[in-house]
């Protein structure tokens, strides 16, 4: 969730392309985003079997920020990470909304018993919340878009009512996932309206670092035990997977895709990730896939497909003069 929201303002990157991309590379990058991001929910579920949720999530983002910062400095020097005060404050706000209230609360919810597949279906509502914020801001989306939003929230209500209220899973955990989805969407909607670094990778470094530090501090302050030697090898493996693949590899693949492929194609990750998560949760953790989950999930996914398809940007005329990339 952190990668998607950092490069959203750069979706116009299609017009800045300077080199054609090989179709096979687009397929590989899409596969990485589909599978890796879809598998992060499973990774979180395995990680929190032994690790405290906020400390684990905080350490994950802190380490990912360090890895990405080292890569950026190796390619552009320490100067590449320099920001203005306003940019740092903007990154701090987005870091609160995305890594902390977004991914951090998902980790807490999965630690509380929310199954990974169901969590992914609830998180799939992010595009619907974004449209809701646009409506509140005075925009007038197409009727089909509004219909998709209403249909999506109906699917969310079905998932919550049948799985949380009197269901097999804690209602508070599922409600927390919906809150995290709304927070992630608000950060996604707000980020283009803030003074952010021009380099999306640099913004990601600061957002993950600030968000990770805050999560880690809150975890320690709330009494979560920090005993690394007592965590199982399986939980450590899941944590490393989330750091390396979930927060670095898939992020880079997504940024490259926005420059090499049509944004409407890249946006399909929003409804492929939940399908991957549900399948992996069923296959590896034997998570139940009940009729209400299938019905509610199908409604949410159909709504997201409707919103993405009706909101895809119009093609722009080709640009003959390439801008200076510095």
d(CA 156, CA 132): 14
Predicted pLDDT at 2: 40
Contact 105/177 with Cβ under 8 angstroms?
A: yes
Query: pTM here?
Result: 0.77
Counts for the chain of helices (H) and strands (E), in that order: 15, 0
pLDDT of residue 287: 81
pLDDT tens for residues 63-109?
Answer: 999 999 999 999 888 889 999 999 999 999 999 998 999 989 999 99
pLDDT of residue 164: 65
Rounded (to 5) percent helix, strand, coil in the chain? 75, 0, 25
126 contacts 184 by C-beta, under 8 angstroms: yes
pLDDT at position 21 is 54
**Which residues, given as ranges, of the chain have pLDDT below 70?**
1-21, 164-168, 255, 258-260, 262-267, 308, 311-326
Query: What's the CA gap between 226 and 324, in Å, rounded?
Result: 48
**How far is it, in rounded angstroms, from Cα 310 to Cα 142?**
8
Would you state the pLDDT for residue 17? 39
Give the separation between CA 121 and CA 66, rounded to whole angstroms: 30
State residue 224's pLDDT score. 94
- pLDDT attached to residue 286: 84
pLDDT recorded at residue 296? 81
Predicted local confidence at residue 298, as pLDDT: 85
Q: Where are the domains of the chain?
A: 2-7+21-311
């Amino acid at each position: 969730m952190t990668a998607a929201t950092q490069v959203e303002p750069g979706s116009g990157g299609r017009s800045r392309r300077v080199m054609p991309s090989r179709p096979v590379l687009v397929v590989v990058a899409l596969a990485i985003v589909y599978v890796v991001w879809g598998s992060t929910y499973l990774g979180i579920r395995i990680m929190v079997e032994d690790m405290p949720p906020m400390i684990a999530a905080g350490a994950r983002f802190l380490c990912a920020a360090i890895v990405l910062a080292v890569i950026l400095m190796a390619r552009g020097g320490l100067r590449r990470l320099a920001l203005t005060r306003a940019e740092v404050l903007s990154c701090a706000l987005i870091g609160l909304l995305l890594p902390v209230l977004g991914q951090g609360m998902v980790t807490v919810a999965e630690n509380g018993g929310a199954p990974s597949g169901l969590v992914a279906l609830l998180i799939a509502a992010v595009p619907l919340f974004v449209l809701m914020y646009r409506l509140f801001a005075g925009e007038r989306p197409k009727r089909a878009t509004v219909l998709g939003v209403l249909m999506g929230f109906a699917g969310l209500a079905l998932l919550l009512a049948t799985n949380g209220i009197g269901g097999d899973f804690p209602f508070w955990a599922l409600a927390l996932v919906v809150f995290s989805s709304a927070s992630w969407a608000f950060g996604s909607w707000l980020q283009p309206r803030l003074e952010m670094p021009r380099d999306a990778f640099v913004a990601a470094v600061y957002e993950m670092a600030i968000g990770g530090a805050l999560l880690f501090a809150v975890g320690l302050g709330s009494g979560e035990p920090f005993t690394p030697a007592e965590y199982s090898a399986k939980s450590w493996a899941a944590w490393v997977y989330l750091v390396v693949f979930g927060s670095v590899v898939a992020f880079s693949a997504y940024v490259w895709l926005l420059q090499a492929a049509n944004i409407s194609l890249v946006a399909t990750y929003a409804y492929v990730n939940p399908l991957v998560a549900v399948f992996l949760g069923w296959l590896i953790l034997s998570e139940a896939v009940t009729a209400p989950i299938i019905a509610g999930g199908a409604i949410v996914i159909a709504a997201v497909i409707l919103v993405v398809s009706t909101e895809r940007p119009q093609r722009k005329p080709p640009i003959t003069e390439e801008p200076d990339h510095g």
